[in-house]
């Protein structure tokens, strides 16, 4: 069992924590006082850790399967080696991989520090997006707002050229990452702060699921995260934002995938075996959210968060996700409060094999239609 603790190093702009899979380096942002007479806010800072992997990348054989939580040993090595800030450490661990001494290899792996500083924002991967709704909305503005010819051209250039190439984060199937933002006060560097189950200073935790019609959006940058970090500072809570699979990769259902799930369920004895049941087919994005909540339950105390005081919340598709998590048996015990903001379609569920009041086809029927369309257009 790894001893989990917060480690304050000699750099005022950095902080390191150690979780079950390794060490994380975050960035400390100093926050201005919210009021001039509030002396308590003078030393408030936000420690941000971005791009933390919470499950194995859902690629290759793991595509259209429930997330594999916790991270496998091979993926821990990849995630920590490739982002370590020390090239000499990288060399050492790569040499050590050739060794048969597994215990020594584990020690070397745990000596690595994954760079989760805010410098990594531009490199963070998000789920593949459809972008349909956003582009339709902006196109509507462009065509109906009476813009001059030059403004229309400028908006077109920004929308289709500048934004995708300079501002949009890279999209990838490898998207199961989350971010943690922690309010903290400056402490004496000589003091090492350890948290235990009885610590009354553990902070409440809020886990945010982004919106976007389950086809777009991201948990990396959103209105909750800005220079003021008011949710963390004013609310005095730890904020976790989550990326999960979207669109085709997150919610595709097909009879062959259902059949594969049945085989996996009968052959698997791991902790995720119950998620391989046929009933989970087509719900991979929601299962990602559940895996992220398991990560929060198992690791948030390292950051000073209370694993027994977790609130999930989200807007639009994120609000729908909250409603689904409230009803899912797989999320039992993983959170304690819920806030659903504008969960407009939360009751309009598709059944895996049957028609419903809202839809004339089942999820598997839609999956068959899509697969046939792809085959016909090849």
**DSSP assignment of 106-171, as one string?**
HHHHHT-EEE-SGGGGGG--B-----HHHHHHHHHHHHHS---HHHHHHHHHIIIIIIIIIISPPB
- What is the reported pLDDT for 92? 35
Q: Is 117 a member of any domain?
A: yes
For 193, residues 6+ apart whose C-beta sits below 8 A from its C-beta are 5, 6, 8, 187, 304
- What is the reported pLDDT for 117? 87
- End residue of a domain, out of 111, 141, 170: 170
Q: Is 372 a member of any domain?
A: no
Q: Is 114 a member of any domain?
A: yes
Q: Is 364 a member of any domain?
A: no
Q: Is 355 a member of any domain?
A: no
Q: Is 208 a member of any domain?
A: yes
- What is the residue-wise DSSP string for 194-220? ---TT-TTPEEEEEEE--STTTS--SS
74 vs 56: CA distance, rounded Å: 9
279 vs 323: CA distance, rounded Å: 18
Residues 46 and 137 in one domain: no
Residues 79 and 177 in one domain: yes
- End residue of a domain, out of 149, 170, 191: 170
Residues 95 and 237 in one domain: yes
Rounded to the nearest 10 degrees, the angle between the axes of helix 132-144 and helix 149-157 is: 170
Residues 50 and 193 in one domain: yes
- What is the reported pLDDT for 8? 41
Residues 176 and 320 in one domain: yes
- End residue of a domain, out of 121, 150, 170: 170
248 vs 58: CA distance, rounded Å: 13
pLDDT tens digit at each of 378 positions of the chain: 333 344 344 445 678 999 989 999 999 988 765 554 445 545 678 999 999 999 999 999 999 999 999 999 999 988 886 555 443 333 333 434 444 445 544 554 556 889 998 877 777 888 888 765 555 666 666 666 667 778 778 877 776 666 666 666 788 999 999 999 999 865 545 455 565 655 678 999 999 999 988 988 888 765 555 556 778 888 899 999 999 999 999 999 999 998 888 776 655 544 444 666 666 888 999 999 999 999 999 999 999 999 999 999 999 999 999 999 999 999 999 999 999 998 877 667 788 888 888 788 888 999 999 899 888 887
CATH number assigned to the domain comprising residue 259: 3.40.50.1820
Q: CA gyration radius for the chain?
A: 22
Residues 177 and 304 in one domain: yes
E strand or H helix at 371: helix 363-377
Q: Is 357 a member of any domain?
A: no
Q: Which domain holds residue 232?
A: 6-129+171-347
- What is the reported pLDDT for 166? 63
Residues 34 and 183 in one domain: yes
Residues 160 and 175 in one domain: no
Q: Is 367 a member of any domain?
A: no
Checking phi first, is residue 146 left (phi over 0); if not, alpha (psi -120 to 50) or beta? left
Residues 61 and 155 in one domain: no
Give the number of domains in the chain: 2
3-state helix, strand, coil in the chain (%, to 5): 40, 20, 40
Residues 176 and 201 in one domain: yes
Residues 103 and 135 in one domain: no
Residues 190 and 219 in one domain: yes
């Amino acid at each position: 069992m790894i001893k989990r603790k917060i480690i304050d190093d000699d750099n005022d702009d950095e902080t390191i924590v150690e979780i079950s899979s390794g060490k994380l380096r975050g960035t400390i942002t100093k926050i201005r006082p919210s009021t001039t007479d509030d002396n308590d806010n003078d030393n408030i800072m936000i420690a941000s850790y971005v791009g933390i992997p919470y499950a194995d990348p859902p690629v290759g054989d793991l595509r259209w399967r429930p997330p594999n939580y916790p991270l496998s040993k091979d993926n821990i090595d990849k995630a920590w080696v490739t982002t370590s800030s020390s090239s000499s450490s990288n060399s050492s661990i790569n040499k050590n991989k050739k060794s048969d001494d597994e215990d020594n290899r584990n020690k070397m792996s745990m000596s690595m520090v994954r760079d989760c500083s805010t410098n990594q924002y531009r490199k963070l991967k998000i789920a593949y997006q459809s972008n349909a709704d956003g582009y339709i909305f902006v196109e509507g503005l462009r065509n109906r707002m009476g813009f001059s010819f030059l403004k229309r051209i400028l908006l077109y250039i920004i929308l289709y050229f500048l934004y995708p190439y300079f501002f949009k984060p890279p999209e990838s199937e490898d998207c199961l990452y989350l971010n943690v933002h922690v309010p903290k006060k400056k402490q004496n560097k000589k003091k090492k702060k350890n948290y235990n189950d009885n610590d009354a200073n553990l902070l409440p935790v809020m886990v945010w699921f982004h919106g976007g019609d389950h086809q777009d959006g991201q948990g990396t940058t959103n209105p909750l995260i800005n220079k003021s970090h008011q949710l963390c500072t004013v609310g005095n809570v730890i904020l976790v934002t989550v990326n999960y699979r979207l669109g085709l990769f997150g919610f595709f259902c097909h009879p062959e995938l259902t059949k594969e799930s049945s085989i996996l369920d009968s052959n698997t004895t791991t902790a995720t075996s119950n998620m391989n049941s046929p009933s989970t087919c087509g719900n991979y994005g929601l299962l990602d959210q559940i895996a992220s909540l398991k990560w929060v339950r198992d690791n948030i105390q390292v950051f000073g968060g209370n694993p027994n005081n977790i609130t999930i919340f989200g807007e639009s598709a994120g609000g729908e996700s909250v409603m689904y998590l409230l009803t899912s048996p797989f999320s039992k015990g993983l959170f304690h409060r819920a806030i659903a903001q504008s969960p407009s379609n939360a009751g309009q569920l598709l059944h895996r094999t049957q028609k419903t009041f809202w839809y004339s086809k089942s999820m598997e029927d839609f999956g068959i239609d899509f697969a046939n369309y792809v085959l016909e257009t090849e």
